[in-house]
Amino acid sequence: MDEREAGSLRGLLSRGRCVAAACALSAALAWPAVAQEAVAVRVETVALESRLLSRPIPYRVALPPAAAPGVRFPVLYLLHGLDGDSSNWFEKTTVEETAAGLGLAVVTPEGGAGWYTDSAEGPWERALLEEVLPDVERRFPVAAERAGRAIAGLSMGGYGALKIAWRHPDRFALAASISGLVAAPTHNARPDASTWRLLRETIARTFADAETARANDLFLLLREPTLADRPFLYVDCGLDDPFLAQNRELAALLVLLKIPHEFRQRPGRHDWDYWGGQVDEVLRLAARRLVAPR
């Protein structure tokens, strides 16, 4: 980073304000409210055996009420955090009802503690893209095209969602991070690094070699020139979240690089009280930006 860029980043961060390259907050507040009426939701759990990981990677699916035959729903793949699993979103939030009210399908795949990254710990990114997505699309009436797919997650899953979508722009039209540990590959060397043992150890194992760390560093990936149609990015973080600084740094970089996105910072901590509310914002955004397959 040269001095001009560093100065721009410092200026944006020092003001501590929300930045949005493509969506103003006023537009966000105009989003339609999530339907409050009870909606019949179909929820299923699939025990997928992963050939790539040599282990089960279960996932849950929530579908809106059946539409006309042959209709496929826009779909949000929703990733869990470290020390979580594929059941968390359904057990700790009302994501299935909210999504159904918006006409969206939701899939929550298992991600272990592998940071949704291909590493010596296992090919977690490939397993999601090459095994989970095709299996979901074969079994359920969900979008199998980029325009109808989004990916999001919390904490470890927030990092994974942004990183995977940016590395594979042909797969997702939207990527969203809630309280994401967006600087995961370099986290342990940061001055504000968490002392949580599980976090530090899993990061050290996943990004043990420099090549894996570089190939999955979101801050480096964003700078790579490309002609591809990149996904729209949504990033949010609580004001009392220990990972707020790195989210602000990411937002400042997105502004500097003129990458279309929305960034929000709101009162809240790194917990389910915050995540349960913010996932509704992600669902509203997905309902607005995804295109139902014809």
E strand spans, 120-256: 122-123, 149-154, 174-178, 232-238
Angle at 175 between CA 11 and CA 8, to 5 degrees: 10
Supply the DSSP symbol for 73: B
* CATH dotted code for 3-289: 3.40.50.1820
H/E element, 77: strand 75-79
**CA 133, 135, 139, 144 torsion: positive or negative?**
positive
Strand partners, 233: 175, 261
Angle at the Cα of 281 from the Cα atoms of 278 and 286, rounded to 5 degrees: 130
Q: What is the pLDDT along the chain (294 residues), one digit of tens a residue?
A: 444 444 444 444 443 333 333 333 333 333 334 444 556 789 999 999 999 999 999 999 999 987 677 889 999 999 999 999 999 999 999 999 999 999 999 999 999 999 999 999 999 999 999 999 999 999 999 999 999 999 999 999 999 999 999 999 999 999 999 999 999 999 999 999 999 999 999 999 999 999 999 999 999 999 998 877 899 999 999 999 999 999 999 999 999 999 999 999 999 999 999 999 999 999 999 999 999 876
- Structural domain spans, the chain: 3-289
